[in-house]
């Protein structure tokens, strides 16, 4: 009987389940070595008392567990004499279908398309072009809705308000135009104030102010300006950068972040437009900024259920719930990508010093982007690669080298399972899954 008991103990392993922040889910427990992700999902749902069974992914030392525990332990030669820490991460309850073909070609623009943006509810697409127009498209029928005319130069960037009521576009001439997406008509005259072209637009989150009224624009002229669409004028000018402002974000805590060619990231409060912090560390231009909460800030109250809201107050409440759930107990994180080949991961409310420095790219970092769940961070570089990082710790995870030209932009699917990259080599490539699965699927 003692021998049988010893064999039983050998076939079990002491495990401690923790959330991504390191908080234990109960105490350590013995689990059979034949237990895999499916059995672990059942245990986590039961321990969390989830009425609706939710999907989870599991990680051991940043390696996703996709096989039974025993197989993993044998492969990685992990000792069973110590408590095995297993991190569980909630996954989206919906799945985006992998891209395998072009579903439609939507023609209309007569010059290159320079910017595109989905509406927060996912029903429309807006595009800005070198032909000086903004076009609105119905995604259900994949047909054009409106052609918005009025700009005198290339339309460089566009941004939807998180409540879906407005669309703003910025041009090479330094002008901004607000549009009504329901009619395609301009809402007032162009907004003038910038002396050079527009480099970025970001709206105030709807959970902070509903209905949406304010947005911030960044320009080559070195300034950022806050505009009120109801007043149809600039209400604040954020000055202080000595070179062009290349990117701007409006955070969920109400602060505005601007990155510049002067190598500095500035943090602004938005009631009086005061500078409250400078984030220094980069040795060259700051090209791109991304927030860990960016997806829920952009989509506001809208999620995969397509729920409609009867009032701005109801929408604001739903958006705040989504934001708080996504953010959790951790501070909002910011990542910056630079011409100095590096990135910095920041927690601006915790410290003006970076949390960690992310190195590995061999040329400038052109674009950075958090996954919608904030667990992953992707970077695109002129070194022809896309790199994947842990979105919480900044630890390097994987490199994708399928492109043969500089990688310009990246974008995540709403379920955080697919990563899309666009390159100078004229191809789009898609990576699928978590850390391990992402190394398996690339499609041109």
In this structure, what token pair is assigned to residue 367? 């674009």
Encode pLDDT of 421-436 as tens digits.
999 999 989 887 544 3
Decide: residue 257, CB within 10 A, 0-12 exposed, 13-18 middle, 19+ buried.
buried
The whole-angstrom separation of Cα 223 and Cα 217 is 8
Alpha helices, DSSP H, located in 34-117:
37-47, 69-76
Q: Is there a contact between 257 and 265 (Cβ–Cβ < 8 Å)?
A: yes
The whole-angstrom separation of Cα 28 and Cα 12 is 12
Give the residue with greater pLDDT, 212 vs 51. 212
Long-range contacts of 175-180 (CB under 8 A, 24+ apart): 175/151, 176/201, 176/217, 176/227, 177/134, 177/148, 177/150, 177/151, 178/229, 178/232, 179/134, 179/148
Helix (H, G, I), strand (E, B) or coil at 190: coil
pLDDT value for 61: 85
The whole-angstrom separation of Cα 391 and Cα 373 is 9
Encode pLDDT of 211-220 as tens digits.
999 999 999 9
Q: Give the residue from 154, 149, 122 showing the smallest Cα distance to 138.
A: 122
Question: Where does 301-417 show beta strands of DSSP type E?
Answer: 334-338, 343-346, 356-358, 365-370, 376-381, 386-390, 396-400, 407-412
Encode pLDDT of 242-284 as tens digits.
999 999 999 999 999 999 999 999 999 999 999 999 999 999 9
Encode pLDDT of 304-338 as tens digits.
888 889 999 999 999 999 999 998 888 999 999 99
In this structure, what token pair is assigned to residue 24? 């234990």
Helix (H, G, I), strand (E, B) or coil at 319: helix
pLDDT value for 175: 97
pLDDT value for 228: 97
Q: Is there a contact between 14 and 28 (Cβ–Cβ < 8 Å)?
A: yes
Contacts of residue 109, defined as CB under 8 A and 6 or more positions apart, other chains included, come to: 127, 129, 130, 131, 133, 135
pLDDT value for 97: 79
On the question of pLDDT at 204 being above 80, the answer is: yes
Go through the domains of the chain in sequence order and give each one's CATH number.
12-90 (3.10.20.90), 113-305+312-359 (2.130.10.10)
Question: Where does 7-154 show beta strands of DSSP type E?
Answer: 12-18, 29-32, 56-60, 63-64, 84-90, 113-118, 124-129, 134-138, 143-148
Helix (H, G, I), strand (E, B) or coil at 72: helix
**Position 437 confidence tier, pLDDT thresholds 50, 70, 90:** very low
């Amino acid at each position: 009987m003692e021998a049988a008991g010893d064999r039983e103990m050998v076939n079990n392993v002491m495990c401690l389940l923790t959330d991504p922040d390191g908080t234990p889910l109960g105490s350590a427990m013995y689990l059979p070595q034949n237990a895999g992700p499916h059995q672990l999902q059942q245990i986590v749902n039961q321990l969390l008392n989830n009425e609706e069974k939710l999907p989870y992914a599991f990680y051991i030392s940043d390696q996703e567990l996709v096989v039974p525990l025993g197989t993993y332990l044998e492969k990685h030669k992990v000792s069973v004499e110590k408590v095995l820490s297993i991190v569980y991460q909630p996954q989206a309850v919906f799945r985006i279908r992998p891209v395998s073909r072009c579903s439609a070609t939507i023609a209309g623009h007569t010059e290159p398309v320079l910017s595109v943006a989905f509406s927060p509810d996912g029903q429309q697409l807006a595009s800005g072009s070198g032909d000086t127009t903004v076009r609105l498209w119905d995604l259900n029928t994949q047909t054009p809705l409106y052609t918005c005319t009025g700009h005198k130069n290339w339309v460089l960037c566009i941004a939807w308000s998180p409540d879906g009521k407005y669309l703003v576009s910025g041009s090479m001439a330094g002008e901004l135009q607000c549009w009504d997406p329901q009619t395609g008509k301009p809402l007032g005259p162009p907004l003038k104030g910038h002396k050079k072209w527009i480099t970025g637009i970001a709206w105030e989150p709807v959970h902070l102010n509903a209905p949406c009224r304010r947005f911030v624009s960044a320009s080559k002229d070195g300034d950022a300006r806050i505009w009120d669409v109801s007043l149809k004028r600039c209400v604040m000018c954020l000055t202080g950068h000595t070179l062009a402002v290349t990117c701007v974000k409006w955070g969920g805590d109400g602060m505005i972040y601007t990155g510049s060619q002067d190598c500095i990231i500035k943090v602004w409060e938005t009631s009086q437009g005061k500078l409250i912090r400078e984030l220094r560390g980069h040795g060259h231009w700051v090209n791109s900024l991304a927030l860990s909460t960016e997806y829920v800030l952009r989509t506001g109250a809208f999620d995969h259920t397509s729920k409609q809201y009867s009032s701005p107050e109801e929408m604001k409440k739903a958006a705040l719930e989504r934001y708080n759930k996504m953010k959790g107990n951790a501070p909002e994180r910011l990542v910056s990508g630079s011409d100095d080949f590096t990135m910095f991961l920041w927690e601006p409310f915790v410290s003006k010093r970076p949390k960690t420095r992310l190195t590995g790219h061999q040329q400038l970092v052109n674009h950075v982007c958090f996954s919608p769940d904030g667990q992953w961070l992707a970077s695109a570089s002129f070194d022809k690669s896309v790199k994947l990082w842990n979105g919480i710790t900044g630890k390097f995870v994987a490199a994708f080298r399928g492109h043969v030209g500089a990688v310009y932009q990246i974008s995540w699917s709403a379920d955080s399972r697919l990563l899309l990259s666009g390159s100078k080599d004229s191809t789009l490539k898609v990576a699928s899954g978590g850390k391990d699965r992402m190394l398996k699927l690339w499609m041109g």
